[in-house]
A and B are shown apart, each in its own frame.
Chain A
Amino acid sequence: MSSAKVKRNIGIRNETALSRHERRHSVVRSIVVLAITLICAVPLWYIVINTFKTVGDMQTNPLGLPRQWTFANYQNAFENVPIVRSLVNTAIVTVFGVFFQVLVGALAAYGMILRKSFFTTFIGMILMVAFIIPGQSTLIPLYRMESQVGLVNTLEGLIVMYLGGAVFCYFLIVGYMRSLPFELIEAARIDGAGALRIFWKIILPLIRPILTTVIVFQTMGTWNDFMTANVFISSSDLKTIVLQVYNAVGQFTTDWPSFMTITVLALLPVFVFFIFCQKWIVSGLVAGSVKG
């Protein structure tokens, strides 16, 4: 009893000695890291704070607090730019694009682990090739192809273009699926469940962690995409939000605060989404890279 107490006391003394040393380090670390963080965050601060200023105020005082808080920029942005329309367009494209990408990728991954044959090995190889082909290399023929069937400058056409992401989804999902015990599928099969039923009832719930990661990844990529949208969309009522921001640069060449306001409105949904999903992104980064 007493010896345990003594030991614990020694332990505590050591701990405080260590932690005093550690604490000094931690204070220095706090100051240095937080200072660097704040310097890096200046651009974000710059965007947000200037949405509450007038043009003149922004020019004389780009980084300080507004002399007079104004909300006219937000009013102006909603009146002059079809922001809601663009957000809806982006949401449609992202939801459908990501849904089909992930579905096709998951189905393919399941088909791949169901059976190992010459055929699946071959598919695995061509998907590897597809993974390496950069989107830029196929852009010109795809543009022609879509214009022949009247899909250029439509949201459907854009969604079709995003389906190529299914290959990336497949690679992330198949790595995870291979780590599942195959006996589960065997057992369900013996119980008489069909392949599709096994997929819906057993596989999908089991791969939920990687599905979340893939969905978050692809949502980010699709929502932020500029290249494809810029090449394929030209009418203003079909523009995605990133294109709308790009458009606003030309529209508000001198009215910087209005431009910043549109940027804030464009970034806001992504930030909200990411506050909720941060956890999965980080865990998925490791899962994806360790296995893939």
Chain B
Amino acid sequence: MEQSAEIKMVARTKRESPSDINRFEEKRFKHRKRLRGLHEDLTSFWFLLPILAIFVVLFAVPLVQTLMFSFTDFNGYSMNMHSVGMANYQQVFSDPSILQGLLFTVIYAVLQTIFVTIIAIPLAVTLNKKFFGRNFARSMFFFFSVPSLAVLGMVWKYIFSPLKSGVVNSVLSVFGIGPLPWLSNSRLAQFCVIFIAVWAQIGWHATLYLAFLQSIPSDLYEQATVDGASSKQQFVHITLPQLVPGIVTSTFLLMSGGLKVYDLPYTLTKGGPGYSTYTVTQSIIQQGIGQSQYGVGSALAVLFTIATAIVVFAQMGVANTISRRFQ
């Protein structure tokens, strides 16, 4: 007992009267701490090295090159390239095929986001209620989203075949409607692409909403029922606000995925008829790799990156504002 009291005393005196030795100790401690910190920095660096390498090789260098090419007349073969200033950008804005591709990409992204959302939410709400065959319906809807859009595009090509033997046309002929030129008419082809995209994605997004619906506490609904709220009121005042994070995620995926669309229109119509279902990605690949106009393709890619970034940030901003309002 006495001994420990003594030690405490000594300790207190030591702490209270800083001697030179103490200062030295402190310094050494700090130094050791910094060394350990450096060591930890190094460990963390080793773990981050692979992704850093991937970033440099697959993202940073190519993006800088794209930016550089966009100001030159580089053709992909001869390194003898010249700066052409903004000419490539001017060409992007004057080439009708590129503009058409841009227009259709935007239409596609916006319409697919709207339609998938307004179909998937009621679908998820229904799939969340009890009924016979619910699991079957859930699995089926989910299955539509499993095959790649590229393969689906090729299959739907047969279904929308302008010939009489095409499925849609043979069904329509029962009602006396003549064979329609589904994929060879601009408007109809655009409709077909968006229709298939919506068909293929509602299941996936309904599954997403379903997962969010299942996390809504059920006592909210019980309370509302006791208070005499109708099911419509419950939907508007409980389900929708609770689904906001789900809507944010789903529309974000739809919008960014929609802007990057390539495979479905390409395998369904190859961008045609004319350029009516041409997409930005298709024109980047066509200009850059197909026609060896690296400059123009790169200028388009730069503009596309900027546009995507703007959309992503705008959506994040809107999503943040909305979620804050509902919290």
Residues of A in contact with B (beta carbons under 8 Å apart): 22, 25-27, 29-30, 33-34, 37, 40-44, 46-47, 58-60, 62-63, 103-105, 107-108, 110-112, 114-115, 117, 119-120, 123, 126-127, 129-130, 132-145, 160-161, 163-164, 166-167, 170, 195, 199, 220, 223-227, 231, 242, 245-246, 249, 256, 259-260, 263, 266-267, 270-271, 274, 278, 281-283, 285-286, 289-290
Contact indicator A242/B304 (Cβ below 8 Å): no
Whether A115 touches B40, Cβ cut-off 8 Å, given contacts A110-B47, A133-B305, is: yes
Mostly, the A contact residues are: helix
CB contact between A242 and one of B132, B150, B208, B249 (< 8 Å): that residue: B150
Measured between beta carbons, the chain B residues less than 8 angstroms from A43 are: 152, 155-156, 159, 199
Number of A-B contacts (CB under 8 A): 261
23 residue pairs A–B, Cβ–Cβ below 8 Å: A29-B131, A40-B140, A63-B167, A103-B50, A114-B47, A115-B37, A132-B308, A134-B304, A136-B280, A143-B289, A144-B65, A164-B58, A195-B43, A224-B147, A227-B285, A231-B289, A245-B151, A245-B154, A246-B150, A246-B267, A260-B155, A271-B143, A285-B208
Q: B248: shortest Cβ distance to chain A, in Å?
A: 8
B129 within 8 A of A: yes
A115-B43, A140-B66, A140-B288 are known; give 11 further A-B pairs, CB within 8 A. Answer: A43-B159, A120-B48, A138-B62, A140-B284, A143-B289, A145-B61, A224-B148, A226-B263, A245-B151, A260-B158, A285-B208
Contact indicator B58/A137 (Cβ below 8 Å): no
Whether A26 touches B131, Cβ cut-off 8 Å, given contacts A114-B44, A141-B66, is: yes
Measured between beta carbons, the chain B residues less than 8 angstroms from A256 are: 158
CA distance A271 to B69 in the complex (A): 42
Most buried by A among B61, B158, B259: B158
CA distance A182 to B158 in the complex (A): 56
Q: B87: shortest Cβ distance to chain A, in Å?
A: 18
Q: A262: shortest Cβ distance to chain B, in Å?
A: 10
B29 within 8 A of A: no
Contact size range, B: 35 or more
| B187-220 at interface with A (beta carbon < 8 Å) | 199, 203, 207-208, 210-212, 215
Measured between beta carbons, the chain B residues less than 8 angstroms from A283 are: 211
Contact indicator B44/A117 (Cβ below 8 Å): yes
CA distance A231 to B155 in the complex (A): 21
Measured between beta carbons, the chain B residues less than 8 angstroms from A170 are: 51
B11 within 8 A of A: no
Q: B268: shortest Cβ distance to chain A, in Å?
A: 10
Contact indicator A140/B297 (Cβ below 8 Å): yes
Measured between beta carbons, the chain B residues less than 8 angstroms from A266 are: 151
